[in-house]
Structures are given as C-alpha cells and as structure tokens.
Amino acid sequence: MKVLTIIGARPQFIKAAAVSRAFRKHGSFSEVIVHTGQHFDANMSDIFFDELEIPHPHYNLGIGGGTHGENTGRMIEAIEKVMLEEKPDWTLVYGDTDSTLAGAIAAVKLHIPLVHVEAGLRSFNNRMPEETNRKLTDHVSTLLLVPNLVAVANLEAEGITGPRVINVGDVMYDAALIFSAKAERDSRILESLGVAPKRYILATVHRQENTDHPARLSSILQAFAKACQPVLLPLHPRTRQRIAKQGLEVPANVRIIDPVGYLDMVMLEKNASLIATDSGGVQKEAYFHHVPCVTLRDETEWTELVELGWNRLASPGAENFLSAFTVIPPAGRLDAQPYGNGNAAEQIVDVIASFHH
C-alpha cells in the first residue's frame, strides 16, 4: 500500500519521524515523502531529517516565502503533479499548516483517500490561518485521527462522527518518548551556550498574530525584560526580520540564538524553569517534560493543559501581561494521561491498514 505523506514545517517533521518509523516496521507500506519547503531554512529543515532518522524526502517542492494564498496555490499545483505520477492509495497530512490544506485539496480533487493526523483541534479563533486550514482539512478527510477526547467533541459539534473519527493519542508524545534519551546522549547545547539547568526561561515567538503586530511584539519583549531569569530565545527568521523592521529593542536579559535542531530543543525544554511560547507543539513538549508553560496567545487548542495547571494563557498587550514572567508558576497535575500511552504512531498505521473506504 502506497502512502503519500505531505510535510512542510518543524512540528510535522517530528510527527513524521514517529509515524514513518511505524510504517517501516509494519512492512506492508511504501511511503513517499513530499516536503513542500514551507520551512526552507536549513536549520529548521535539513537537520530534522538527519537527527530524527526520517527518510529524506522523495520530492522537495521548495515552496515558501510567499503569502498564504500564493504558497497554498503553488503547493496544490505541485502536489497534484506528484500525485498523478505516484498514484498513492492514501494521502497523509499533519496538523494545520498551508502544506496541510494544500495536500488535502489536491488529494480530494483527485479522489485519493485522505488521512488527517491531529484532526479535530480548534482554537475557535477564525482569524488564525491555522484554524481555517484545520477546519477545511477535517471536513474533506476520509480518516480523522485525533489526539485526545476534546478533539472528538469538537468534531461532533461540527457533525463529523462515526467510524472514521478515531482517538489514537498524540504522536508528538511518541516522539518525545523516542527521542528524549537520544537528546540526553547526543546534545551538547547546554554546554555550548554555557547555561545551567533551571536557571533560564526558554522562549519561542513565530506566529503571525504576534510577529506582524508591532504592539504585540513590543509587549512580548517588554515582558521578557521583567522576567525573573534570563530569557533564551531561539529566533525564527521571520521574527528576527520583524524585530529589525519595527526597530524594536531586544532587552539585555534576552539572549538570541539561531534556531536549533530537535534534539537541542528537547534539551533546552527539559532544562528550562519556564517555557514561554506561541507554538502549539512547544506547549505540549513543555508538558511532556513537566515544565510550566506560559502561552503567548489569546487562546490555545490544548485546553486540557490549562485545566491541568501546566499552561497559562497570557495575551500580549493585556494589562497584566508585563508581569507574566516575574515568577515561575508551580507545576501542574500529573494524574491524567490526555495524550494516550505513547503508541499513537503504531495505532495510526494499523488504522490505515485495516480501514475500508
């Protein structure tokens, strides 16, 4: 059985690492990987394939850097050509990026069954491009593989029910379990940066809603300036451009470093005293490593982490936002397993193998 996997951004590389491994182990699949090029920076792309032992893409479309509309349109056209050549039995997409939506549209137009891994997530903020991408993808998918019970309820509310909705758990939890020991063994990032465990706050900022609004980006930097510990900021290329373009000053206690590979990021996450992020994936990784997290957004898809006390929402620009990092919040509860048992990838592959459409 041939599966065409579409990936284009860091969180998708991580998920694909676990699922591609499960495809190889199963034995009855051939997987063709298409990298759209959405993350075209070598630090954010090539290194992930090497570190996570993902087979290098069969197709690298090199599409990135344009507007959402330009990128999505060009991706649909390029992915369709690949599909016509490869004639896959299934197309598999992850998450909520432009690559996800482009893969979904191309598959549906060619009547190729579509699997959406990480289906059913909702932020309920329709201004986010990710919300549009995930909603549209869910409504055209053949198989909706969800990470948790909240996602099942979200789909039910939109009339999507039945045997094609399956709670397999969260594949990012699989990856965290698989690669945590490898990070401990292979990463030297703490030594090379000269930082001590639990003596820094780790931050990531990349979402359009924060980077493209000078007031929000300025508010984030001002809050970091008041932080109770030094802030380590692996900086996304777009955010770096926006800070320079908007003439914003980086506070003295904020240390900017280049984007890091997955194993280095795992080590930085595990050893931070607090994580501040607007990334959906990093919020969960914080929880996997039992590090409190402050999410730099007005809402989150991962509401269960707020309920368990691991995550706090802090809206950049809100009155109390500047004090968001003046204390390290306490740890949350550990009595729940909202993301399954770490075998989501195997379940995904088994479901695809046995599903009759």
What residues are labeled active site? 206
Residues 6+ apart with CB under 8 A from 42: none
Q: Which residue has the tokens 């199963």?
A: 26
Does residue 239 sit in helix, strand or coil? Answer: helix
> In angstroms, rounded to a whole number, what is the distance separating the alpha carbons of residues 253 and 225?
6
Residues 6+ apart with CB under 8 A from 144: 116, 119, 120, 138, 155, 160, 164, 165, 166
Chain-centroid distance, C-alpha 160: 23
Count of other CB atoms within 10 angstroms of residue 326 = 10
> In angstroms, rounded to a whole number, what is the distance separating the alpha carbons of residues 148 and 172?
12
Residues 6+ apart with CB under 8 A from 344: 18, 147, 168, 169, 170, 171, 173, 174
Angle at 284 between CA 278 and CA 286, to 5 degrees: 85
> In angstroms, rounded to a whole number, what is the distance separating the alpha carbons of residues 41 and 53?
19
Maximum alpha-carbon separation in the chain: 58
For 185-341, where are the E strands, in sequence order?
A: 201-204, 231-234, 254-257, 274-277, 293-295, 311-313
Does residue 138 sit in helix, strand or coil? Answer: helix
